Structure 1
C-alpha cells in the first residue's frame, strides 16, 4: 500500500480511492471485514485521522458499514441507472415527482459555440438553464441545458420547476422526440462543483453531454450533466 505524499491529492482521498478500488473490483466482497483503522494507518504510513475520514466517507456513501465493537465491513453496493440522470426515461408523467433546484434561467443570443452545437444561427435566442437535480433531499447532479427559443416559445421558469425537460417538450409542446446522443467523460470537481454537490474539491465526477433531436432530426436541446459518483455502480440497460 503506497501513498504518494508529493501529490496534490489529499492523503485521505488516496486512501479512500485504494479502499474503493478493492471493493469495486470485487477483491473485497460483501461481508469482508477491513483491517482496523490503526492497522490501515500503519500500512499506509498515514495518521489514524486520515484513515478514519476515508472510511467514514465510504460508510456514508453506503460502501462500508461500521459496527461498534466488531469492525468495518463491506456492504452491498447500490446500483444506479445512468439513464435516470440524463432523463432518458419518461414514465408516469402525472405521478412521479422530479425534484430540481433552478439556479439560473435566462434567454440570450446563441453565439458561435452554442449555435454550432444546436445547429442554429448565432443571432437566435436560446434558453440557458442551470439546475441541480435532487434525490433523497441531496444534490446528485448539476445540469446545464440550452434550448432554442424558436422550438419552444413561451417556455417559462415555472414550467421547468421539478420536472424533466423531456416531459415539458412532450406535454406542453407536443414534440415527438426522436433520439438522444450522449457522450461520457470525467472531470475533477472544482470549488464551485464541490460546494454545490457537498463533496471534497478534486473528487472525480461523471460528465454526460446530451444532444436531443426531434422526429424531424432537428436538434432541440443540448445539456451537460455533472454527476457525483456517490461510490455507486452505474449501469445503462438497453432493450434489444
Structure 2
C-alpha cells in the first residue's frame, strides 16, 4: 500500500483516512482488532511514529479504543440519521428548517455542469443558496443548492430562512414532488471547507448529491451536501 509522499496531506493523515475508510465502509466492524502498528508500518513503509500518530488520532476521536496487552479495536458508534439533515420532507406542516446559517442567496446563470444537472437551457437563471447546517450550534454540513428560477419565480431569502423547501415547492408553487435521487461519495476537505466546518484540511467528508424531481419529470432542485465524518456509520432515508 503506497502513500502519496508529494501530497499536501501529511502521511499520518493519509494513513488515518485509510483506517477510517475501513471503519466507515463497515469492513472493520465494532470490536474488530486492527493490524498492529508494526504491521501497518510495514504495509505503508513508514515509521512506527507516523503510524502511532494516525492511530492515536482515531483513539482520541473515539473511533478506536485500546486494551492493554491486547491491541487496538474498533469502537462502537451510534448510527447517524442523515435524513434529518438532507431531507426536504416535512412531517409537520409548520416545522421550521434545520438550524443553519445562510452564507449566500442570489440569482446566477448556470455553467455547463449546472445546466446538465438541472436539465435547463443555456442562460436560464438559477437561485443559488449556500448554507451551513448546525448541530448543537456547531457546523456539521455545507449545503449548496441550485433551483431553476423559472419553476420558483419570486423566491426570497426570507422564505428559505423560515420555511422548508418542500413546503415552498408544494404550497407556494404547486409543484408535485415525485422522486429524489441521492448519490453518495467522499472527499477530503480543502482549505475553504475546513474553515467553514472548523476541521483540519484533509479531513474526510461525506458528499451527497441530491436531485429532486416533480411528477412532470422536471428537476426542481439540485443540492450538494458535504458532511463531517463523526460516526462510523450513517443511514439515509428520504420520504417525499
What TM-score range do you get, normalising by the shorter chain?
0.7 to 0.9
SS of equivalent residue, structure 1 residue 161: helix
Deviation at residue 175 of structure 1 after TM alignment:
2.4
- Equivalent in the alignment of 2:155: 155
SS of equivalent residue, structure 2 residue 150: helix
- Equivalent in the alignment of 1:215: 215
Gaps of at least 5 residues in structure 2 are none
Counterpart contact for 1:83–1:236, Cα < 8 Å? yes
Deviation at residue 142 of structure 1 after TM alignment:
1.2
Counterpart contact for 2:15–2:54, Cα < 8 Å? no
Deviation at residue 106 of structure 1 after TM alignment:
0.6
CA distance in 2, matches of 1:72, 1:96: 43
Flag the 1:10–1:17 CA change in 2: closer, same or farther, 3 A: same
Paired residues for 1:125-164 under 5 Å: 125-161=125-161, 163-164=163-164
Flag the 1:101–1:146 CA change in 2: closer, same or farther, 3 A: same
Deviation at residue 40 of structure 1 after TM alignment:
5.2
Q: TM-score, normalised by structure 2?
A: 0.74
Q: Which moved more, 1:20-29 or 1:103-112?
A: 20-29
CA distance in 2, matches of 1:6, 1:175: 51
SS of equivalent residue, structure 2 residue 179: strand
Flag the 1:203–1:183 CA change in 2: closer, same or farther, 3 A: same
Count how many residue pairs are aligned between Structure 1 and Structure 2: 232
- Equivalent in the alignment of 2:176: 176
- Equivalent in the alignment of 2:56: 55
Deviation at residue 112 of structure 1 after TM alignment:
3.9
Paired residues for 1:16-31 under 5 Å: 16-17=16-17, 20=20, 25=26, 29-30=30-31
Deviation at residue 169 of structure 1 after TM alignment:
1.9
1:189 aligns with 2:189: yes
SS of equivalent residue, structure 2 residue 92: coil
CA RMSD of aligned residues (A): 3.7
CA distance in 2, matches of 1:238, 1:222: 15
Paired residues for 1:80-159 under 5 Å: 80-87=80-87, 89-95=89-95, 98-159=98-159
SS of equivalent residue, structure 1 residue 194: helix
CA distance in 2, matches of 1:55, 1:163: 43
CA distance in 1, matches of 2:65, 2:2: 24
Flag the 1:51–1:171 CA change in 2: closer, same or farther, 3 A: farther
Deviation at residue 200 of structure 1 after TM alignment:
1.9
Deviation at residue 15 of structure 1 after TM alignment:
4.8
Deviation at residue 161 of structure 1 after TM alignment:
2.0
Deviation at residue 88 of structure 1 after TM alignment:
5.1
Deviation at residue 178 of structure 1 after TM alignment:
0.9
CA distance in 2, matches of 1:11, 1:104: 35
Gaps of at least 5 residues in structure 1 are none
Counterpart contact for 1:134–1:141, Cα < 8 Å? yes
